[in-house]
Amino acid sequence: MRIAVIDGQGGGMGKAIIQTLRRELGEDTDILALGTNALATSLMLKAGANEGATGENAIAFNAPGADIIVGSIGILAADSMLGEFTERMAAAVAKSRAKKVLIPLNRCNIYLVGITGEPLPHYIDEAAQLVKNFLRGE
Asked if 68 and 40 count as a contact pair (C-beta separation under 8 A), the reply is no
Q: What pLDDT digit, counting tens, does each position of 61-110 carry?
A: 999 999 999 999 999 999 988 889 999 999 999 999 999 999 988 777 78
Contacting residues for 25 by C-beta, under 8 A, at least 6 apart = 128, 131, 132, 135
- The tally of domains found in the chain comes to 1
Res. 138: pLDDT tops 90: no
Asked if 69 and 4 count as a contact pair (C-beta separation under 8 A), the reply is yes
Q: What pLDDT digit, counting tens, does each position of 15-66 carry?
A: 999 999 999 999 999 999 999 999 999 999 999 999 999 999 999 999 999 9
Res. 117: pLDDT tops 90: no
Residue-number span of the structural domain to which 122 is assigned: 2-135
CATH of the domain at 42: 3.40.50
